[in-house]
Amino acid sequence: MLRVCLKGANAAARKCLCERAGHPLQHCRRYTSAGDSGSVAGKIVAASLLTVGGGLGGTILYAKWDPKFRANVEKNVPYSDQLFGMTLGPPPPPVVPLPKKPAKVEPLQISTLSEASKESKQPKVKEKVKAKEKEAPVEPAPVAEETPAPPPQSLEAEECKECAHESAPALQERPVEEVTARLAEQDKAEQDTLASLTAGLDDTLGSSAKLTLQAIGAQEAALAAIATHTQKLKEAMDSESPPDRKSSQWRVLEEALSERNRAVDNAAEALLKAKGELEKLKGVINSAKESKIDTARPQILAAEENLHSMIVDLDKVATKVQTAQSEAKIVSQYSDLVNEAKAQFQKELESIAPEIQANWRGLTGKLSMDDLNSLIAHAHRRIDQLNRELAEQRVREQIHVEKALEQQKLEDQKALEQALATALEHNREEMRLEQERKVQEVRDVMEAEMRTQLRRQAAAHTDHLRDVLKVQEQELREEAQQVLGSKLLEQETHFRKLSQEQLDAFTLDMNAAHARLKGIEEAIDSHVVAEEEARKAHQLWLSVEALNYSLNTAGADAPTEPLEDAVRTIKEKCAENEFAQALTLALPEESLTRGVFSEASLRARFYGIRQLARRVALIDETRNSLYQYFLSYLQSVLLFEREQEAPPAKLAPEDLDTFKLLAYATYSIEHGDLELAAKFVNQLRGESRRVAQDWLKEARLTLETKQVVSLLSAYANAVGLGTTQAP
């Protein structure tokens, strides 16, 4: 279409151009038409070729760009699809909308996955999940089947999802039995590990608890020992008891000290052991955590809590012990200092008054004045010294105190930090434990919820199953009924067929016998009938012969006698012969009343008619003046022809001439064929026909009668022949 348009446009453009160029071109053309015509024709050819090529190329390019246009052209223009196929390649396939199933399935997947991951404890539910997934489409099914396999190993939902997403692309559906077996195995394994874990946990817990208690006891003992020791020390230092009691005190003190040391060592040992055990417990807990069995979780949690509390207690007791120790250290330091001061004083005293005995407090009565004076002087000096020292000491004390304060501050700080750290640790640990507890609670709640949902799902599933089963049952029942019905029908038809066959055979036999009987009867009857018929035929024949005879009574120019009598005879005698009756009815009235002419008379008359017909041959409806009469008479006189002429098998239009017809008729009548002659005479037209009408009528009558009579006689003969029985 495009090409046509382009061509038209081109032609129009050219015409336009030519018109615009107009007259000069015409003139030119006239002068140079001869020479230029070739180039003009060439130009025209080139232009048309260019147009066609351009049109084709444009169409092909556009079709390449727009597939719809291509389809359109292919539909409308024949063989264009072949051209496009050659140049552009096969047409692009129609765009199919992508299925939305994966997107729809994904949320289902995740939800089922999360549900499945959360609910992994009870195998029953897992099986239900499996069964449910079996009915679901194939995609979620293998995924869901795969994910119950990983969840027993992975507790966290996030990991589950990752697993699912990772395993989703490469899935294979496992058979139910294998999956259940695997699940059973996994469950068993899980149970085993759980059992072992719990056992381990319990053991370690027990041992650590024991050790911790021991440690705590030891610590407390140490604490008590330290306290007693300190107390004793204080007592020993403060009290002014007599020497023997002092020594006993000191002894007691030493004992207490040794006791304290031992207790402290014990405590330290126990602490170490307990700490070691706690570490072990921690290790076991961690391993238990790593084994990642949900069921152990509360136990693990409890163990952790225990561990934590144990650690806390241990720490507390340790700190107590430490404080006690530090107090004891202070006290001991103080006692040491005091002892030192005492020793020093003693030494000084000894240096000053060597004779003074160590235990100078009981010797107040033995002293002299010198000794006393020296003693007092020494005492004064000592007092001064001491005062100075005191002053110094006071000064230093400030510094010391400040230093000590600072140190104390530092130590306090450190202790604070440590305490803070430990407290923080403890807090953190507590928070963690609480969080874990909360998590556990939430998990429990979620599990419970999921269980209810799953229960609901299971209920829905059972309902659906029930419905499906019902439908299936219905269908199967119907099918069975149908089959039964068809089989029954088959059997019935078979039975019926057999019975029918039997009946038919019997009927056939009966019919045969009946037929034979009938045949015999008929034969007898027919014999009778035949005889009757023979008689009748005879009658008929006689009557027809009579009729025939009456036909022959025709004179030369007179008709036969009326055939009425003969016909009446026939009618009477052969009243039951319908054919004869009909035929008798077919006889023309004229023949009955007046009789018919014989063939000979008709033949004789014919010549007169012939003459007359020849004379009025020219007269017809249109040309019938007297002059025509004269002319036709003249024609008949002057026309020479054969009197008789054999008629052809077929009449041609030129044979319908009066003279020819009359010649044929004469020939026929001479050869005895009145019928043919009558036919020919019937073909006459105009006045000739009118003239021959009479004769024709007579001829017809005769022919009819003869026909009927011949029929009758033939019939009578036939009947007679029929009834005669061959010997």
Partner 1 sequence: MADEHGRKWDRCFADSAVKTVTGLGVGIVLSVLFFKRRTWPIAFSSGMGFGMAYSNCQHDFRSPYLLHGHMVKDQ
Nearer to partner 1, 96 or 626 (CB): 626
Q: Hey, what are 533's tokens?
A: 């018929």
Residues forming contacts to partner 1 in the complex (CB under 8 A) are 608-609, 612, 616, 619, 621, 624-626, 629, 687, 690-695
Nearest to 91 by CA among 52, 63, 111: 63
Q: Residue 589: CB partners within 8 Å, gap ≥ 6?
A: none
Nearer to partner 1, 360 or 629 (CB): 629
In the complex, the smallest distance separating the C-beta of residue 620 from partner 1, rounded to whole angstroms, is 8
The DSSP letter of residue 367 is -
Nearer to partner 1, 84 or 680 (CB): 680
In the complex, the smallest distance separating the C-beta of residue 559 from partner 1, rounded to whole angstroms, is 16
In the complex, the smallest distance separating the C-beta of residue 610 from partner 1, rounded to whole angstroms, is 10
22: left (phi over 0), alpha (psi -120 to 50) or beta: left
Tell me the CA end-to-end span of the chain in Å, nearest whole number. 95
Cα angle for residues 207, 212, 218 (degrees, 5° grid): 130
Nearer to partner 1, 34 or 626 (CB): 626
Nearer to partner 1, 193 or 693 (CB): 693
Nearer to partner 1, 285 or 691 (CB): 691
In the complex, the smallest distance separating the C-beta of residue 576 from partner 1, rounded to whole angstroms, is 43
Nearer to partner 1, 538 or 603 (CB): 603
In the complex, the smallest distance separating the C-beta of residue 667 from partner 1, rounded to whole angstroms, is 21
Sign of CA dihedral 510, 515, 516, 520: positive
Nearer to partner 1, 287 or 611 (CB): 611
In the complex, the smallest distance separating the C-beta of residue 681 from partner 1, rounded to whole angstroms, is 12
In the complex, the smallest distance separating the C-beta of residue 685 from partner 1, rounded to whole angstroms, is 12
Please answer whether residues 560 and 596 qualify as being in contact, where contact means their C-beta atoms are separated by less than 8 angstroms. yes
Nearer to partner 1, 141 or 613 (CB): 613
Euclidean distance between CA atoms 550 and 592, whole angstroms: 11
35: left (phi over 0), alpha (psi -120 to 50) or beta: alpha
Q: Residue 274: CB partners within 8 Å, gap ≥ 6?
A: 208, 211, 212, 214, 215, 216, 310, 314
In the complex, the smallest distance separating the C-beta of residue 615 from partner 1, rounded to whole angstroms, is 9
Q: Residue 532: CB partners within 8 Å, gap ≥ 6?
A: none
Please answer whether residues 110 and 161 qualify as being in contact, where contact means their C-beta atoms are separated by less than 8 angstroms. yes
In the complex, the smallest distance separating the C-beta of residue 565 from partner 1, rounded to whole angstroms, is 30
Q: Residue 73: CB partners within 8 Å, gap ≥ 6?
A: 59, 63, 80, 84
Q: What is the SS3 string spanning 71-128?
A: HHHHHHCCCHHHHHHHHHCCCCCCCCCCCCHHHHHHHHHHHHHHHHHHCCCCHHHHHH
